[in-house]
Amino acid sequence: MAGSHDRYEQDVLKTDWRAPKRGRSVDVDAEPDMVLEDATTGFCGAIVAIERDLVILEDRRGARRSYPYGPGFLLEGKPVAVRRPKVSVATGPARTASGSIAVRNSRARVARASRIYVEGRHDAELIEKVWGDDLRIEGVAVEYLSGVDDLAAVVAEFRPDANRRLGVLVDHLVTGSKESRIAAEVARGPYGGLVLVVGHPYIDIWQAVRPERVGLEEWPDIPRETSWKHGICAALGWPHADQADIAQAWRRILGVVRDYRDLEPTLLGRVEQLIDFVTAEGDSPGAS
């Protein structure tokens, strides 16, 4: 009918259907650390990866989501359409695997007298991979224990003092555990203020790696009567007949860790806490 309103007159394929109802989107190039909000779900995070077809956001809790380029985002409250950069992305200051700003052309510092002890070889290898650059700059050596049962004796042999602090990272440090009792005993001992024992809640350091990095939604529960590492390998369909298989499994897990973002936040906080403790003022390089 002439003069009537045609509710089909607008071609919906020409509309920006993903744009929020806050005005027309402005095109912006994706940049590392740019904070975007998904206008539909409200998910808000910083850009941590710019890939061929996707941009990946990570929120302050470490959760990640992937999005195709285009409209549907808010930048500082304003609608934007995110584009993949046409030129190589300038990432700003180079960073270490732990997220710290990399120090170029710097030699490793003379080792401090202070040390960080961890429970096993796997713990030490994971910390080296993610925090190795930082530890060399700070002059902090990481050594591993065969376990924490004799930690009080180990501390006494180390003989901490104001210039010789000891930090210890313990697996499965939860209320009521054997590890928590040992940590409390060390804290009450003669070197209490010079030793910091912290831990993560995981049965093994393997669990500190985000499960999605090995194709799992979450690390499975393993019956108490089953060796935990053997149980994990069985759940993943990996060989686990002997120690060589377990060692190979760990190499596979360590191999998928790229940087701190592939680790659980609980571990990140504890390691940073230990580094701060053993590098506090008063600890001089090479002191004995």
pLDDT tens digit string along 6-19? Answer: 444 444 334 443 44
Helices and strands, counts by H and E, the chain: 6, 11
Of residues 204, 214, 256, the one with CA closest to residue 236: 214
Q: pLDDT digit string (tens) for 33-81?
A: 888 999 988 899 888 888 888 888 888 777 888 899 999 999 988 999 9
Q: Cα–Cα distance between 160 and 190 in angstroms, integer?
A: 10
Q: pLDDT digit string (tens) for 108-124?
A: 566 789 999 998 899 99
Say which residue the tokens 């190979």 belong to: 248
pLDDT of residue 243: 92
Q: How confident is the model at residue 275 (pLDDT cuts 50, 70, 90)?
A: very high
Q: pLDDT digit string (tens) for 174-209?
A: 888 888 999 999 999 999 889 999 999 999 999 999
Backbone torsion region of residue 47, taken as left when φ is above 0, otherwise alpha when ψ lies between -120 and 50, otherwise beta: beta
* Options 1.10.1740, 3.30.2420, 3.40.50, 2.40.10; CATH of 115-209+257-278: 3.40.50
**Residue 240 CA to chain centroid, in angstroms?**
27
| Euclidean distance between the first and the last CA atom of the chain, given in angstroms as a whole number | 96
In the chain, what are the domain boundaries?
A: 12-83, 115-209+257-278
Report in angstroms the alpha-carbon separations of 98 from 28, 93, 94, 101, 124.
29, 14, 11, 9, 15
